[in-house]
């Protein structure tokens, strides 16, 4: 969590994420990279790539830097090193490129979610970042005056392709001093006995020294509902889940539980790329 990237469109949701990032930064000595991606009309894109002084582009960049100046004066950012970045790039792949360029270790962003037809054809901005990011993405839905994390739900099928993501989750839990609640959701169409589920989970975690965890098997109508209902039951502070980052036609037909959670969960969600 040494370098936290916070994409902003200067909305209330983005400010909520920045406030959480600032609390994390103060506790862990992190730097914040505040990013605004300019939404430039399509006809201007070619001009941007070859003429950085296009009047329209310069106007929007000056506006963005003025908004940054106002944000920098906020009390909650005092004492934190904050880098401002304005990029004339409306694509979410640009966020991944900036993450690699600056060695970002976590992305924190706000979201109001999406549902119904809007979710199917557009999706939330956070969902698109989750799909393309190689670093953990912390999605914030509400204001948190005190962002403390004591209980993390780590939902998984506990197969080997998730082991690297679990390592990242244990590092996060250690940093926060939190307990991890390992969760496997049983559904009617994909049922596993409690004995076999426990065996799979124990085999999954046997190589890790992290001991502050509980093991939970929860039955529900769907995996997503199971994760949400169990998290509500224990009043979890954070939901952690792995994502394959499907894109294109594969994502349209297969979907992603992690992206559904980003859209629908009321509590913070952090995703780890497999």
Over its length of 274 residues, how does the chain's per-residue pLDDT go in tens digits? 899 999 998 889 999 999 999 999 999 999 999 998 876 554 454 544 544 556 666 777 777 778 888 898 899 999 999 999 888 765 556 788 899 999 999 999 988 654 443 333 334 567 678 777 889 999 998 899 999 999 999 999 898 767 889 999 999 999 999 999 999 999 999 899 999 999 999 999 999 999 999 999 999 999 999 999 999 999 999 999 988 755 443 333 334 677 778 777 889 999 988 8
Q: Which CATH architecture is the domain 3-140 placed in?
A: 3-Layer(aba) Sandwich (3.40)
In the block, tokens 């739900």 appear at: 153
Measured at the alpha carbon of residue 69, what is the angle toward residues 68 and 73, in degrees to the nearest 5?
110
β pairing state of 179-186 and 31-37: unpaired
The pTM of this model reads 0.84
Q: Which is nearest to 33 in space by CA: 138, 103, 124?
A: 103
What whole-number distance in Å separates Cα of residue 160 and Cα of residue 186? Answer: 18
Give domain 151-273's CATH architecture.
3-Layer(aba) Sandwich (3.40)
170's tokens: 């244990």
Q: Where in the chain is the domain with CATH 3.40.50.620?
A: 3-140, 151-273
């Amino acid at each position: 969590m040494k370098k936290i990237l916070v994409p902003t469109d200067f909305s209330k949701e983005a400010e909520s994420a920045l406030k959480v990032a600032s609390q994390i930064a103060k506790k862990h000595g992190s730097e914040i990279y505040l990013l605004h991606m300019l939404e430039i009309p399509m006809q201007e894109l070619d001009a941007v790539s070859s003429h950085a002084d296009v009047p329209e582009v310069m106007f929007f960049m000056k506006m963005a830097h003025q908004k940054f100046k106002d944000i920098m004066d906020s009390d909650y950012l005092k004492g934190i090193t904050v880098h401002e970045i304005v990029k004339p790039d409306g694509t979410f792949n640009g966020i991944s490129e900036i993450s690699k360029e600056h060695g970002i270790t976590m992305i924190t962003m706000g979201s109001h979610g999406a549902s119904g037809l809007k979710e199917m054809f557009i999706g939330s901005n956070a969902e698109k970042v989750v799909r393309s990011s190689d670093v953990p993405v912390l999605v914030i839905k509400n204001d948190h005056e005190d962002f403390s994390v004591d209980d993390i739900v780590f939902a998984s099928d506990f197969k080997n392709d998730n082991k690297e993501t679990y390592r990242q989750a244990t590092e996060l839990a250690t940093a926060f001093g939190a307990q991890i609640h390992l969760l496997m959701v049983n559904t009617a169409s994909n049922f596993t006995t409690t004995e076999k589920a426990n065996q799979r989970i124990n085999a999954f975690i046997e190589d890790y020294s992290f001991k502050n965890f509980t093991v939970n098997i929860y039955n529900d109508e769907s995996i997503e509902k199971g994760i949400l209902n169990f998290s509500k039951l224990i009043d979890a502070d954070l939901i952690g889940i792995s994502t394959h980052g499907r894109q294109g036609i594969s994502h349209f037909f297969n979907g992603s539980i992690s992206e559904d959670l980003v859209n629908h969960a009321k509590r913070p969600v952090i995703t780890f790329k497999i």
